[in-house]
Structure 1
Amino acid sequence: MARIRTIKPEAFVSESLAAVTLTAERTFVGLLTQADDQGRHRDHAAIITGQLWVLRPEHGPSDVETDLAQLADAGLICRYKGPDDKRYLHIVTWHQHQKINRPSMSRLPDCPVHGTGTGIGQSPRGAASPRPWHRQRTERSGRGHGALTEDALSTRGKCASLQRIRVPTENPQVNAGSWSRPGRLTEVCVSLQ
């Protein structure tokens, strides 16, 4: 699925991008829009041709394979084989240039050379691990509906269970200033007394 990505002005004076042909540069920019939130994509020239060059039939899969080889030689992408023996690529400087607001986990295997540890079930590099809701709430301002008291803070780590509830949407007074969005599943700690 294509995504909106950022191109920095420095890209036009990049020596590594200047080392490749214009078609390879266009393939690189196109890969930015097609890569997942960790900068990974299938290394399959026919698939990339269909995504980026569909309206340019004169630039076929063999030309895209040449583009990918140039990008790899310039150090812009890294090509690798996954545990399933399929070929993958990732954009080497992805995490330096792309700031994803809510990055999703990659469904593609991590690069064995530049591994970031952001495969399925792993947090993106630099992202904080998920914290219990009561700790997140107390680290904010502590004001508004749902603010926790000192008694509630003393139960930290003593949750008997986490239960999921749905915050009602039909009563606006319940949701006013709430730390949870209406109609969304929310975890609530049932503490031991």
Structure 2
Amino acid sequence: MKNILRPALVLFALLTLLTGVAYPLVVTGAANALFPAQAAGSLILRDGKPVGSELIGQNFADPKHFWGRPSATGPMPYNAAASSGANQGPLNPALTDAVKARIAALRAADPGNTSPVPVDLVTASSSGLDPHISPAAARYQVARVASARRLALASVQALVDQQTEKPLMGFLGEPRVHVLRLNLALEALR
């Protein structure tokens, strides 16, 4: 029994050190050396302090800010620890009711806006954490934000155009607007 148990325990200890200590240290060190911003959480800094992440949206409810996609996380929106989809299909009455309520809230926040509501302002992304909206969703909100801030419509629209990210390599993905970055640029307009 001793002849079998000792090699098994030595192998167990060796593999534990190798896969549980050495490998994670090497991978973490390589990530910090090669991709320091991503390894630190892809943080967005303002005056040297973190204000958010490139990867996780934030909840903006003030009419003076651009609003992102609805979050599917609960009870707190954009909670990365609770990332999951809403699991509501297109025929689910709960999804239909939620979309109708979101459209009503958008219309109430900007009664003069009769444009069609972009779908990404009333439906959550698959993770519930998406920090981006479409340029159409940003343009939909320009009049409300400009009015609430008493800014020229053209200057807010120009800011949206400036903050619109192009598809990767010009053809992969869709144009998008990072809501936190847009709101930070909006704050800088003052």
TM-score range, shorter chain: under 0.3
Highest RCO, 1 vs 2 (Cα 8 Å, sep ≥ 6): 2
Per the normalisation by structure 2, the TM-score is 0.24
TM-score by length of 1: 0.24
Counting helix residues as a fraction of each chain, which structure ranks higher? 2
